[in-house]
Structure 1
Amino acid sequence: MNKGTKLAMGIAAISMLLVGCGKATSSTSSSKSSSAALSGKVTAVGSTALQPLAAKAGSQFTSKNSKVNLTVQGGGSGTGLSQVQSGAVSIGDSDIFAEEKAGIKADTLTDHKVAVVGMGPVVNKDAGVKNLKMSQLKQIFTGKITNWKMVGGKDQKIVIINRAQGSGTRATFENAVLKGATAVKSQEQDSNGAVQKIVATTPGAVSYLAFSYFTNKLQALSVDNVTPTDNNVETNKWKIWSYEHMYTKGKPDKATAAFLNYMSSKDVQNSLVKDMGYISIHDMKVTKDAKGVVTNN
């Protein structure tokens, strides 16, 4: 083989290598372009019980999709359902089924269940009470029991803190505990966070919170000697719980659909949901419909 032939073959080999590298670079660039292509604005409004999970998941989602502008706000389940129905927001977060809210046309909305939240009564730690019968809890919130000594606690006036009307947490609690009875008039708060702080600092205070808001500054109450735990919710032994719904109206845009898919992903369901005090929808041994009928899976 003469020098000219060797040189030609060498040039051909280098040319093929460069072409191969060019294709790899093009493929990588295309992949990056594809992952960065998702863009748009997503606004989720409503349940303050769902808000911490939606906000944390949203932060993780946007870290991978930097061109998506995602906002998560509270305001209560009623607000979330009303705003998504009117088209003002992309997602309406709710602790209750749309069918349970007056004025909401549930058949115009699509339900995306993303988690389950346990809820339970909490008292100021000085009340001296750790367990109540369900009947006693009902009597407290209907104004028939007014002092903690009447249920074995301190000689101290009971101060009821309720969530505002339209709260999904309130609706869930009242459906499970009051069973149609009228709640006594009381101080009302707009969020789980506000209730948490007020009960912790107000002598004699009692209210109810999502499990994710339980802290060691409060006394979470057992009911009929059943403790408020995830395991008891999963079997419906603990009766006060609800799904966390993310409702959409019509077909969601690509960014909204991608976020909803992320909420159902293993990253969220197997890790974030549990770490933040919620229950994965995949762990439930029972299902509950909009009328509150519970069936075994």
Structure 2
Amino acid sequence: MDLDLWALVLSVVGIAVPGFAFLWEFFFVGRKRLGYRVQMDTTAMEEAGSKYAGVLAGMKPESGAAALVNPSFVLVRIENAGATTIDEHDYQVISDVKVGVRILFPGRTVAGMVVTDLNPRSLHTNFTGENNALARGVIDGADEPIGYITLPRVPLNRPDHYKVLAVLERVKGDKDGPPPKPRIEAGIKGGRVKMTASGTGMSRQTTALLVFMTVVILGLGLVTVFNEDVPLDCATGTVKLTGSTAIEAVMREAGDMYANTCSGASFTYDFQGSSGGLSALQEAGDQLEASPPVLAFSDGAKADLQPQLLPRPVAFMLFTLVVNKDAGIGDLSIDQVRRLYDGQVQNWREIGGNDVPVTLISRKPGSGTRTTFQHQILQGKREAATNSDNCRTRDSGGDPGIIRCERDRTDDLLNGVASVRGALGYAELGAATKRTDLVVVRMDGQKATLEAATHGAYPFWETEFAYTYQEPKADSLAASFLRYLTNQVGKDIIRSHGNRPCDELQNPVLCRPGA
């Protein structure tokens, strides 16, 4: 039995058992229940014979009789302990007899009694009058005297009660040992008579139920621990993740976590840029003539692809410009950025920075980040050709002007900007903000934030798409991993890198192709 089924079983049992116990206790066997409790049963033999006995030594069962020798005192509580009213006709007695309850005292006779602590006070009307069935006596024909008290059929609402205080005399048997315990004789139609607890501790039934619930809760806790972060549809096999280096860190972490959770799954990684990844997916699909175990990620949707490649929006990604600290720049207007990439600004002092030459480090053609930069910031204009391989000196025969170079990967570009004086580049925001050796540039005074991007105040963003070749089978690892990226664990990973899951946007249309 798998962990999810165990969790379901424990949950059902944990709800069903207390529910059944409640119905059984209050609607089946306990709907009508007359409760009783002996709250006191104590002797006063030594006290009655001592010089300090006071009134106890002079107590007599009736006028003219001898004083009590072995007195004892019993306090019995009678109550409605059920879920509904107990009426006169609910007592199981002969209809023309008023007796409802009889209390027996083996080995003792009743010297006196009083009904007390009536709640509500209106119950006293049941104990007045000559035929009210409140009486005391001794059962004839018993081996030893058995005193008794009879009580009327008292209607009791929930939780009405009254008490009977009896003074008893020990008449036979071992005077040194405790007398036999009192007994109750009564019956309730459609219900039962039950000794109730004092309320200062838990009953055995309550203790058993608490132990049972504790076991269920611990069981669910263990299932949760062993089942933590398990996707609902763990799949097996191997899938290749390729494409944009801007999303590489996110996908590597997500792939490793999925594989750690689902032991039959594994992932290979070959992030070479958006175009390179899409080409690899197309080639794998053409060879297999079906959906291959490949997922390609692209910064933005690609309109010039074959129809077999199907996009799925994964995340709303922010990008940013980054600059070398020696440039002395932290904010650039959109116009200044365009002039820089047009080659019109060759030294940072021309736009308020330090006296340091400008160097532009870009991503290579085919990069989704470069395509996003050209589309969103340069208004569709392509970047100029490079004239340097090492980003420090112009190549022989290279174009004059500012030094321009390109790098394959996001990390390589960030390393170049950090190490080359006056260098300017662009990258995915999450990767850039983790660096402390370069400056993340504001644009028109605006930081790169989700709120600014979705409200049009920050222009450098794009939707990250996952591409498949045709529709993968529902039980395949590729399909399962795509679903994993949209559940809570996958979303947490995406957010931890500074991006936002598409379905959490106030305007989800921004995550549609062509938005």
TM range, smaller chain: 0.7 to 0.9
Question: In structure 2, what is the Cα distance between the partners aligned to 1:133 and 1:37?
Answer: 48
Shift of 1:36: 9.8
1:202 paired to 2:443? no
Q: Residue type matched to 2:237 in 1?
A: G
1:165 partner SS = coil
- Contact kept, 8 Å, 1:234 with 1:283, in 2: the verdict is no
**Percentage of matched positions with identical amino acids:** 26
User: Mean alpha-carbon deviation: is it higher for 225-234 or for 250-259?
Assistant: 225-234
Pick aligned residue for 1:83 from 280, 300, 321: 280
Question: In structure 2, what is the Cα distance between the partners aligned to 1:230 and 1:241?
Answer: 9
1:124 paired to 2:324? yes
2:500 partner SS = coil
Q: Residue type matched to 2:481 in 1?
A: F
- Contact kept, 8 Å, 1:108 with 1:249, in 2: the verdict is yes
Question: In structure 1, what is the Cα distance between the partners aligned to 2:437 and 2:255?
Answer: 28
- Contact kept, 8 Å, 1:36 with 1:67, in 2: the verdict is no
1:70 paired to 2:267? yes
Q: Which has the larger radius of gyration?
A: 2
Structure 1: 4+ residue segments shifted above 4 A: none
Shift of 1:114: 1.4
1:160 paired to 2:360? yes
User: Mean alpha-carbon deviation: is it higher for 115-124 or for 175-184?
Assistant: 175-184
Question: In structure 1, what is the Cα distance between the partners aligned to 2:382 and 2:468?
Answer: 32
Question: In structure 2, what is the Cα distance between the partners aligned to 1:182 and 1:73?
Answer: 26
1:113 paired to 2:334? no
Question: In structure 2, what is the Cα distance between the partners aligned to 1:133 and 1:276?
Answer: 26
In the other structure, the counterpart of 1:189 is: 407
Shift of 1:156: 1.1
- Contact kept, 8 Å, 1:199 with 1:218, in 2: the verdict is yes
Unaligned runs of 5+ in 1: 1-27
Q: How does 1:15-26 map to 2 (within 5 A)?
A: none
Which structure's residues are more often helix, by fraction? 1
In the other structure, the counterpart of 1:96 is: 300
- Contact kept, 8 Å, 2:310 with 2:469, in 1: the verdict is yes
- Contact kept, 8 Å, 1:48 with 1:76, in 2: the verdict is yes
1:44 partner SS = strand
- Contact kept, 8 Å, 1:115 with 1:245, in 2: the verdict is yes
Question: In structure 2, what is the Cα distance between the partners aligned to 1:37 and 1:210?
Answer: 30
CA RMSD in angstroms, aligned pairs only: 2.0
Pick aligned residue for 2:253 from 36, 39, 56: 56
Question: In structure 1, what is the Cα distance between the partners aligned to 2:242 and 2:349?
Answer: 41
Unaligned runs of 5+ in 2: 1-222, 286-292, 386-403
Question: In structure 1, what is the Cα distance between the partners aligned to 2:428 and 2:487?
Answer: 23
Render the CA deviation track for 1:212-248: whole Å, top value 9, x for unaligned.
Answer: 1112211111111111123322333211111111100
- Contact kept, 8 Å, 1:142 with 1:182, in 2: the verdict is no
Question: In structure 2, what is the Cα distance between the partners aligned to 1:47 and 1:141?
Answer: 23
- Contact kept, 8 Å, 2:313 with 2:464, in 1: the verdict is yes
User: Mean alpha-carbon deviation: is it higher for 77-86 or for 53-62?
Assistant: 77-86
Question: In structure 2, what is the Cα distance between the partners aligned to 1:131 and 1:125?
Answer: 12
1:98 partner SS = coil
Question: In structure 1, what is the Cα distance between the partners aligned to 2:470 and 2:360?
Answer: 40
Larger RCO, structure (CA 8 Å, separation 6 or more): 1
In the other structure, the counterpart of 1:248 is: 468
- Contact kept, 8 Å, 2:295 with 2:468, in 1: the verdict is yes
- Contact kept, 8 Å, 2:431 with 2:497, in 1: the verdict is no
- CA gap of 1:37–1:116, structure 2 versus 1, over 3 A, is closer
**Superposition TM-score, scaled by structure 2 size:** 0.47
